[in-house]
Amino acid sequence: MIAASDLALLDGFERALINERLHMVYQPKVSLADGSLKRVEALVRWDDPKLGPVPPSRFVPMAERHGLIDLLTNWGLTTSLHQWLEWRAAGLDLEIAFNISALSLQYLDFPDLVERMCRALDVPAERLVLELTEGATQPLVKLMDTLTRFRIKGIGLALDDFGVGYSSLMQLKQLPFTDIKIDRFFVKDLAESNDSRVIVAAIIAMAHGLGLTVTAEGVETEGQLRFLAEAKCDVAQGYLIATPLAPAEMAAWNADWARRWAKFRAA
Ligand code: C2E
Ligand code: MG
Ligand code: MG
């Protein structure tokens, strides 16, 4: 039985997907070693004419529940890879991070499909990083074979939202991740909370010990950025650096950020 509220949302979402009324925005991730733009995270947006902007935290789980997630994944990935080509043509060489629902990873041939998409567009597989979050019903350890196939193809794997929810150390030990993303829950109170500082420093040390890179999510203040840079976190992402941007905004943001980073470094 589908709840009435879900039904209206589902109907609107299905029509948006079919009529290409969704769009992607891209949030920059910068290197904390030199401030350079390293990667962008592709994030889906749905602005419904009747409902207004609907957040992905509402419609992604709904797409998962109602069999639309593979359609969303394929549309989002194709859109993002095409965008990568446009940036490359404009001289911006970056990596693209894409959120994959664990449900889309159930099929053993999914890595081949992604590789074919990259090949067809001439996007090097090494430029793609998949961000994975474990949900209650989709334990990632069951996906070992699929994840290993991605790694063999050179595609990166980031464990998203690390430290909250279902993410666990067992996954880090057993699965071939290349990057850990520290959840913004631990970043938001770095200034006030000694506990958060200890936890973040420990995650960074652990990740480096395991040969992984670390990204901090949700960086909103210079104080947080400074702590993370001093703690040797590799990459930072958050509203202080940039909100998710439309593709055309990227070049202007990049120039402005270079100035802001130089000032930050000099202070
Ligand atoms: P996520 O992968 O952890 O993405 C980061 C979320 O944090 C994004 O929310 C981003 O806009 C937000 N964010 C970034 N910087 C800051 C900050 O400094 N402060 C705060 N408070 N928030 C920040 P968004 O775009 O609403 O996405 C929410 C979640 O929805 C994502 O979490 C991801 O799990 C999922 N999602 C988004 N796009 C897709 C998609 O195309 N496919 C799938 N499967 N999931 C998606
Ligand atoms: Mg993510
Ligand atoms: Mg996250």
Concatenated DSSP letters of 96-109: EEEEE-GGGGSSTT
User: Who surrounds ion ligand 2 at CB < 5 A?
Assistant: 99, 131, 160
**At which residue do the structure tokens 């998710």 appear?**
244
What φ, ψ does residue 57 adopt, rounded to 5°? -65, -20
Ligand 1 within 6 A of CB of 160 = yes
User: Which of the ligands is closest to the CA of residue 100?
Assistant: 1
Residues 225-237: pLDDT tens digits? 999 999 999 999 9
Residues in the chain: 267
What's the mean per-residue pLDDT of the chain? 92
Q: Domain containing 259: what range?
A: 4-266
User: CB within 8 A of 154, min separation 6: which ones?
Assistant: 124, 125, 126
Ligand 1 within 6 A of CB of 134 = no
CATH number of the domain encompassing residue 234: 3.20.20.450
Residues 150-190: pLDDT tens digits? 999 999 999 999 988 776 788 888 899 999 999 999 999 99
Ligand 1 within 6 A of CB of 239 = yes
H helices of the chain, in order, are 4-18, 56-65, 69-89, 110-121, 144-152, 169-174, 184-187, 194-209, 222-230, 250-266
- The protein residue with its alpha carbon nearest to ligand 1, atom 41, reads 44
How many distinct structural domains can be found in the chain? Answer: 1
Pairing verdict, β 235-236 and 22-31 = antiparallel
Q: Mean per-residue pLDDT for 98-122?
A: 92
Pocket test for ligand 1, best of 43, 186, 225 (most atoms within 8 A of CB): 43
pTM here is: 0.95
CA distance 195 to 70: 39
Pocket test for ligand 1, best of 22, 131, 217 (most atoms within 8 A of CB): 217
